[in-house]
Structure 1
Amino acid sequence: MPENDRLSGCLDALNLEFVEREATPRLLMKLSIQLYLVGLSLSNTVFILEIFGVECTQSTVHNWVHKADLQPESGRSPDHVAIDETVIRLSDVQYWLYAAVDPETNELLHTKHEPTITKVLAHSFLTELSEKHDVSDAVFLVDGSHSLQDACQRHGFDFRYEKYGNRNAVERVFREIKRRTLCFSNCFSNAEAETADDWIRSFSFAWNQLI
């Protein structure tokens, strides 16, 4: 699919029902949300809007992103699911990010970040994943994470240890999220965990639209 078609599709998928009175044209609001989510900094996003004659602050664009309440679509039925957990940092605080990816499409199926890793939290993550998608017949690809392996067993999911191969899909996603969360942390050093969670869901939506 051509890049411009994918970008247009992503813009069309953005719902701006939260907008009541806003001087900025909706198309430019959608464009600014998309530009930020695919990697442009807030300052550069504001600069692009200025080219179109729109003046706004970085916090305004930030609010548009979070009010749009973007998140990946549910209802997938993947054959395989790559799951993993990794450390991310928001300001000076360490969090653990859980993620599930369809290795055949590279789409993010579900994400969740927690202040620690436990078997209970891993089980909760897979519970939420199974509520969003039909993964009952999927083969889960897990590395050495004992908590995720235990969660798969408790759910009765078929899983296998795999360090490379199809698991590269989730590793690619993690690398990009870590790159972007570094920017996120620098821009919003006082952001609360809930705000970060909103951002990661928004990032997941944009990632799935553009891959």
Structure 2
Amino acid sequence: MTEFDRLSGDIEWIDLEFVERERTPEQIIEVGIQLHLAGLSLSNTKQYLERLGVERSRTAIHNWVQKADLQPAGDGAPNQIAVDETVIRINNERHWLYAAVDPETNEFLHVRLFQTRTTQLTVLFLRELREKQQIEQTTFLVDGAHYLKAALERLGLRFQISRHGNRNAVERVFREVKRRTSSFSNTFSNVEPPTAESWLQAFAVWWNRC
């Protein structure tokens, strides 16, 4: 089996409907997306593709990730969900990455990026999560932040204050997000917030598949 075959593997999680407008073979796009989300910088991904005989710019690889529009999906009914947020900087301005994680699988269930953290935005996040998952019987594990508690109470959802145990699942995936974005110092430069959010959602999909 060639190195290319090993990389192309199971790519059903990548929607390539946009490829009809691309001049690059689908398998190359799949490999490029996987390599970048798995940890290679755009420059290193570009160099790897050149080893496969394909020359594409860093911008082209970045655009593949954006056009694929990858987002965590599913229709489960988790017993528990850990919810938390962490700071992501975009052009040196603080934004808040919200994430819902299944502590049994360490998988992202939903990811959003907001310019601030409020009860109303948390309600929006949880409503979007409810469209993806069956959460009426779920117990949410939170750290006691007032906006998290207020949003859960407003929606009539069960929650438990927890700073250890299963709630650490969300801390673990946040550490991986920080590690993965360390190549740009946890900062997205010269991009708009929706672009950064799209990359983070794509990373969440890759994380769930790895």
Superposition TM-score, scaled by structure 1 size: 0.91
- The separation in 2 between residues aligned to 1:67 and 1:187, in whole angstroms, is 21
- Equivalent position of 2:26 in the other structure: 26
TM-aligned CA deviation for residue 119 of structure 1? 1.1
- The separation in 2 between residues aligned to 1:165 and 1:12, in whole angstroms, is 33
Q: Does 1:44 align with 2:44?
A: yes
Q: Does 1:54 align with 2:58?
A: no
- The separation in 2 between residues aligned to 1:159 and 1:7, in whole angstroms, is 41
TM-aligned CA deviation for residue 74 of structure 1? 2.6
- Equivalent position of 2:109 in the other structure: 109
Q: Are the aligned partners of 2:181 and 2:187 in contact in 1 as well (CA < 8 Å)? A: no
Superposition TM-score, scaled by structure 2 size: 0.91
Go from structure 1 to structure 2 and tell me whether the alpha carbon gap of 1:21 and 1:96 turns closer, same or farther (over 3 Å shift): closer
Go from structure 1 to structure 2 and tell me whether the alpha carbon gap of 1:72 and 1:7 turns closer, same or farther (over 3 Å shift): farther
Structure 1 runs not aligned, ≥5 long = none
- The separation in 1 between residues aligned to 2:33 and 2:123, in whole angstroms, is 33
Residue identity opposite 1:208 in structure 2: N
- Identity of aligned pairs, percent? 51
CA deviations 1:167-207 (Å, max 9, x no partner) are 11100111122233343578951100111111111111111
- The separation in 1 between residues aligned to 2:22 and 2:34, in whole angstroms, is 18
- Equivalent position of 1:8 in the other structure: 9
Residue identity opposite 1:193 in structure 2: P
Structure 2 runs not aligned, ≥5 long = none
Structure 1 window deviating more from structure 2 (68-77 vs 175-184): it is 175-184
- Equivalent position of 1:194 in the other structure: 194
- Equivalent position of 1:155 in the other structure: 155
- The separation in 2 between residues aligned to 1:129 and 1:47, in whole angstroms, is 38
TM-aligned CA deviation for residue 66 of structure 1? 0.5
Go from structure 1 to structure 2 and tell me whether the alpha carbon gap of 1:186 and 1:89 turns closer, same or farther (over 3 Å shift): closer
Residue identity opposite 1:146 in structure 2: H
Go from structure 1 to structure 2 and tell me whether the alpha carbon gap of 1:70 and 1:184 turns closer, same or farther (over 3 Å shift): farther
Q: Are the aligned partners of 2:18 and 2:67 in contact in 1 as well (CA < 8 Å)? A: yes
Q: Are the aligned partners of 1:69 and 1:198 in contact in 2 as well (CA < 8 Å)? A: yes
CA deviations 1:98-145 (Å, max 9, x no partner) are 110000011100111111111111111111111111011011000021
Question: What is the RMSD of the two structures over their aligned residues, measured on CA atoms?
Answer: 2.0
Go from structure 1 to structure 2 and tell me whether the alpha carbon gap of 1:167 and 1:5 turns closer, same or farther (over 3 Å shift): farther
CA deviations 1:14-61 (Å, max 9, x no partner) are 121101254432112101101101111101101110111111100000
| Secondary structure of 1:18 counterpart | helix
CA deviations 1:51-92 (Å, max 9, x no partner) are 111111000000011101111113121110000111111231
5 Å matches for 1:74-153?
A: 74-153=74-153
- The separation in 2 between residues aligned to 1:63 and 1:33, in whole angstroms, is 10
Q: Are the aligned partners of 1:72 and 1:109 in contact in 2 as well (CA < 8 Å)? A: yes
- The separation in 2 between residues aligned to 1:195 and 1:21, in whole angstroms, is 20
- Equivalent position of 2:35 in the other structure: 35
